[in-house]
Structure 1
Amino acid sequence: MSEIHFAMGGAIFDGFTKDHAQLISKHGLPGFEPYRGKLMDWVDRPQALKELLDGLGIRLITASNGGPGQLCEFIDTSKREQTVSDHVDFCRDFLKVFGCAHFKINMGGRPSGGTTPEDIRAIAETVTEIGKRTGDLGVTIAPHPHIWGPIERPEEVRALLDQTDPAIVSWIPDTAQLNLGGGDPVQLIDDYYDRLAAVHWKDSKAEYRGYTGPTPTKEMHTEEILYKDLGAEGVNHPAIWTMLSDRGYDGWITLDLDPPRPNEGEGTVDDKMGINVRYLQETLKVPHL
């Protein structure tokens, strides 16, 4: 029996309220992974959020970094100590309240001229320093490659992981982010399976299956959402599910979905959650959420 469990990502919500928590519960998802920047009403009162989620049987598995009052400068060494300090403070004061085992982090914006090898070394050093300190708190640091971020292309993903200590730094791949960045999600996740803290799932248009071209632009995303519901088939999720199951993965998979765009034919948040949960249950036939 698979021990994989599924969580809802917080990007789909506008902020976070009791109604949003009830939607997660309605769809039977046992986990929640918010963004700090969308939790500003809760950041200073984590116990109240925990009580809300506990009452619905939902576990906060981690929260992404970012938002007001937290510096996210991973390349600029002059800002490293403040970045590290802000992240460790959030880990101690917020994530630990929920018993989180890992801390998912984005790594800031992409340099205007692209990411250099020196940039990747700087990011590796910053992530490692955060990871040493969060590790002392019992929380593993987990960088998250993301298009339009400094680590988006497959060679950048490999370089960052190869330059960091597996005992200190794990990672959280996103299937569509890897795909749109020109990488092979199945291969990258398989190659760095032993480094997984968790996994994010979303899809892309079928035409992106096997894509190795330049990363789509933010303007393209504005014109038409790049991030599609599971089943769009840009990403081979059945192969990823089989690989994770065969290798004995027993962690979390987060459905990291953007808010629906009604002007593009998408319905409500409730509708979107239902579409993706049904894919898990009816297409992949997962044994449980």
Structure 2
Amino acid sequence: MDKFPFQLGIHPINWVGEDVKEHGNDTTFEQIVDEIQALGLRGTEMGRKYPTDSALLKEELSKRGISLSSQWKTVLFSDPAYRDVELADYREHAKFLQGMGSKVISTCEGGGSLHFDARRTPNEKEVLRLDEAGWRSLAEGLNAAGAIAQEYGLKLTYHHHGGTVIESPQEIDRLMELTDPSFVYLLFDTGHAYYGGADPLKVLQKHYDRIAYVHLKDIRQDVLDRSRAEQADFVTCIRNGVFTVPGDGCIDFEPIIKELVTRGYDGWAMLEGEQDPEEHPAYDYAKQSLLYLNSLKTT
């Protein structure tokens, strides 16, 4: 795994779904981390099967030589009425990650999403895009949360994400324009970039100076096309199998990895598949993905 200047890890979402709860729901924490260790990887994100007691989690990860890179944090900053409560919660999140030795907080606005916004109702079908006031409020909230993250030696890395208000390349661009680069960084996700209509390589090149964390995720083009024709929502797309690990989909990772290597990116890059492990066993798919990534020409 020393071929790259960056640290290669893997997200537990390959074993246990976060957005689709039935995916891998019977999988244990021990199976996940044992298989991460067997893959020779040294980093993981927090998952819903992981122990929440930090001392126990540290012990279990440490004895397998694994570090906790981050933990997802949904925020609701687009509505200023929630900001004080959200920032207090963000501080607690930062304290936990600091104690685990993490350096970044994976952060995503939930407001307007069908799946992350508890205010939405089951009969609604579309993401509510931000108005001007929402954009301003989101940027202000993220800047404030980024300052809190800095207090704890962390970076707020914004996760552009399918089915949310920051999904398209234009939305990524605007978020980067409106937020303070000293407080708000970008979590570059290849799969979500493609899902949102972007060329992942162009997103990487355009915003490299803001990128502090990377997710390596692939897309099945045929599934995406079929899901879009059916006007499927984001979670249905996952159930349909739109995502997979690098090397198993349509994204050409060679220029992406070459760009990261050439620029000397030295943060975490996490393998992600987010698919049903009954049909696509996480360990087997990750092993093949690692072979694929190591076969790429990076110079």
TM-score clears 0.5: yes
Cα distance per residue 1:170-201 (max 9 Å; x no partner): 11011010111011111111111111111101
Equivalent residue letter for 1:100: S
For residues 239 and 47 of structure 1, do their structure 2 counterparts lie closer, same or farther at Cα, with a shift above 3 Å needed?
Answer: same
- Secondary structure of the residue aligned to 2:73 is coil
Equivalent residue number for residue 172 of structure 2: 157
For residues 47 and 122 of structure 1, do their structure 2 counterparts lie closer, same or farther at Cα, with a shift above 3 Å needed?
Answer: same
Root-mean-square deviation (CA, aligned residues, Å) is: 2.5
- Write the distance in 2 (CA, Å) between the matches of 1:286 and 1:101: 26
Equivalent residue number for residue 146 of structure 2: 131
Identity score, percent? 25
Equivalent residue number for residue 62 of structure 2: 54
For residues 220 and 20 of structure 1, do their structure 2 counterparts lie closer, same or farther at Cα, with a shift above 3 Å needed?
Answer: closer
Counterpart pick for 1:119 among 113, 134, 154: 134
Equivalent residue number for residue 224 of structure 1: 240
CA contact (8 A) 2:238 2:274 kept: no
Equivalent residue number for residue 256 of structure 1: 272
Shift of 1:13: 3.0
- Write the distance in 1 (CA, Å) between the matches of 2:252 and 2:135: 28
Equivalent residue letter for 2:46: P
Shift of 1:219: 6.5
- Secondary structure of the residue aligned to 1:230 is coil
Equivalent residue letter for 1:21: V
- Secondary structure of the residue aligned to 1:179 is helix
CA contact (8 A) 2:245 2:272 kept: no
Equivalent residue number for residue 20 of structure 2: none
CA contact (8 A) 1:128 1:164 kept: yes
Aligned residues: 270
Tell me which protein shows more strand as a share of its residues: 2
Cα distance per residue 1:72-112 (max 9 Å; x no partner): 312111011111110111111x1011221111112115354
- Write the distance in 2 (CA, Å) between the matches of 1:261 and 1:42: 21
Q: Report whether the alignment pairs 1:274 with 2:287.
A: yes
Shift of 1:205: 2.2
Counterpart pick for 1:245 among 261, 267, 281: 261
Q: Report whether the alignment pairs 1:85 with 2:88.
A: yes
- Write the distance in 2 (CA, Å) between the matches of 1:5 and 1:243: 15
Counterpart pick for 1:197 among 207, 212, 217: 212
Equivalent residue number for residue 12 of structure 1: 14
CA contact (8 A) 2:223 2:241 kept: no
Equivalent residue letter for 2:80: T
- Secondary structure of the residue aligned to 2:164 is coil
Counterpart pick for 2:41 among 5, 29, 40: 29
TM-score, normalised relative to structure 2: 0.82
CA contact (8 A) 2:15 2:277 kept: no
Equivalent residue number for residue 76 of structure 2: 73
- Write the distance in 1 (CA, Å) between the matches of 2:239 and 2:38: 32
Cα distance per residue 1:198-239 (max 9 Å; x no partner): 110111124699xxx999633751562111231244222111
- Write the distance in 1 (CA, Å) between the matches of 2:162 and 2:30: 31
Counterpart pick for 1:168 among 183, 200, 215: 183
CA contact (8 A) 2:78 2:111 kept: no
Equivalent residue number for residue 69 of structure 1: none
Cα distance per residue 1:255-279 (max 9 Å; x no partner): 12214354xxx33222222222222
For residues 181 and 208 of structure 1, do their structure 2 counterparts lie closer, same or farther at Cα, with a shift above 3 Å needed?
Answer: farther
- Write the distance in 1 (CA, Å) between the matches of 2:135 and 2:250: 28
- Write the distance in 1 (CA, Å) between the matches of 2:145 and 2:245: 33
CA contact (8 A) 1:6 1:30 kept: yes
- Secondary structure of the residue aligned to 1:61 is strand
Segments of 5+ residues of structure 1 without an aligned counterpart are 67-71
After TM superposition, the structure 1 stretch with the greater mean CA deviation from structure 2, 7-16 or 94-103, is: 7-16
